[in-house]
Amino acid sequence: MTTILWLKALHISFMVAWFAGIFYLPRLFVYHAESQQKDCQSQFKIMERRLLLFVTPWAILTLVFGVALIMAYGSEWFAASKWLHIKITLVGLLYAYHGYCFKLLNDFKHDRNTKSPRFYRLFNEAPVLILFAVVILAVVKPI
């Protein structure tokens, strides 16, 4: 049981670190999309790239420890945990979101952004909603 608790603690810790970046990066995109000054845009490009590269290992480690947890609990537990299947689907959407951030970063890098600050404000809300659902599934296990 001690191993499972360590795996949970690491999984949650890396998830929190990942989400700190996932919440802040789209906010930088908002400011970047609003900016008209080239020097500010250059600074945003640096900040966005560094932030995304900084949080990507946390995303990977979240996945590693999540998979390790599933393996520690075993295949019977996994098969019986319907809530976990929904959680995994939602987490898959978060990884797609994270990947899409690389595309948006590349658009900004090459001055090809076509999206409005409003788009990025709405884009910033998606992981919050998914996080609420994932936490409820993991803690309450309603299904």
pLDDT at 95: 98
**What's the average model confidence in pLDDT over 6-18?**
97
Average pLDDT over residues 9-18: 97
Contact at 8 Å (CB) between 44 and 28? yes
Query: How many folded domains does the chain comprise?
Result: 1
Closest CA to 120 of 92, 102, 133, 101: 101
Its pTM stands at 0.93
Q: Give per-residue pLDDT as tens, 59-105.
A: 999 999 999 999 999 999 999 999 999 999 999 999 999 999 999 99
Using only C-alpha atoms, what is the Rg of the chain? 17
| Cα 130 to Cα 37, 48, 81, 120, 133, distances in angstroms | 34, 22, 19, 16, 5
pLDDT at 98: 98
- Helices assigned H by DSSP within the chain: 2-34, 38-73, 75-80, 82-109, 117-140
Residue 35, C-beta contacts closer than 8 angstroms, at least 6 positions apart: 41, 44
- Give per-residue pLDDT as tens, 20-56: 999 999 999 999 999 999 999 999 999 999 999 999 9
Parent domain of 25: 2-140
CA distance 18 to 59: 5
